[in-house]
Structure 1
Amino acid sequence: MSQVPRVYGSERDDSECGPQPGRDYRELTGGPLDGQLLDVSGWTEEEITTGAYLITPHSAFGPGGRASYAPTFSRPGGPWVWEGDVP
């Protein structure tokens, strides 16, 4: 049985930690947030093509560090890949 991916920012024990209907998500691949979904609903096209620095407790810089994720231009609308950790 496959597990429903968790949405970035939700708590593991939250009953609604999975994707919700009517929302737009990008899968995060690689790095400390691998397999989670990022809700990009309401983001501008520029924000979506830029990517994001996401806070993670498992950064190379310790808790509160950020992981850089960005889209792959060869797969628009596809997963965002980990580019590395930033303080």
Structure 2
Amino acid sequence: MNDDRRVYGTDRGEDPRPQPGRVYAELVGGPLDGQLLDVTGWTPDAILDGAALITEAGAYGPGGRALYDPFPGDPSRWSWSGDTP
């Protein structure tokens, strides 16, 4: 996969680029805009639930979370719906 976007949650020393054989959702808007979320192995229900992703770049600073939900009809793109402490 030739993609320079960063995968959310990769650890220091890990390759932050998407890896072959994995399934990703693109995060759209908010503090994590443009990053990819690895949803490999997630159930359809878990994907519909969306995610509260830890970020230091959101409205609540370190420890805060950015809320993302899948676009209706397109679970490969998730839109930001706000921040929470």
TM-score by length of 2: 0.89
For structure 2, the residue ranges without an aligned partner over 5 or more in a row are: none
For structure 1, the residue ranges without an aligned partner over 5 or more in a row are: none
In percent, how many aligned pairs have the same letter?
55
Q: Greater strand share, 1 or 2?
A: 2
- Which residue in 1 is equivalent to 2:21? 22
> What is the CA-CA distance between 1:77 and the residue it aligns to?
2.8
Q: Show the 5 A alignment for 1:1-87.
A: 4-11=4-11, 14=13, 16-73=15-72, 75-87=73-85
- Shift >6 Å, 4+ stretches: none
> What is the CA-CA distance between 1:50 and the residue it aligns to?
1.0
How large is the RMSD of aligned CA atoms in angstroms? 1.5
CA–CA distance in structure 1, aligned partners of residues 23 and 84 of structure 2: 26
Aligned length: 83
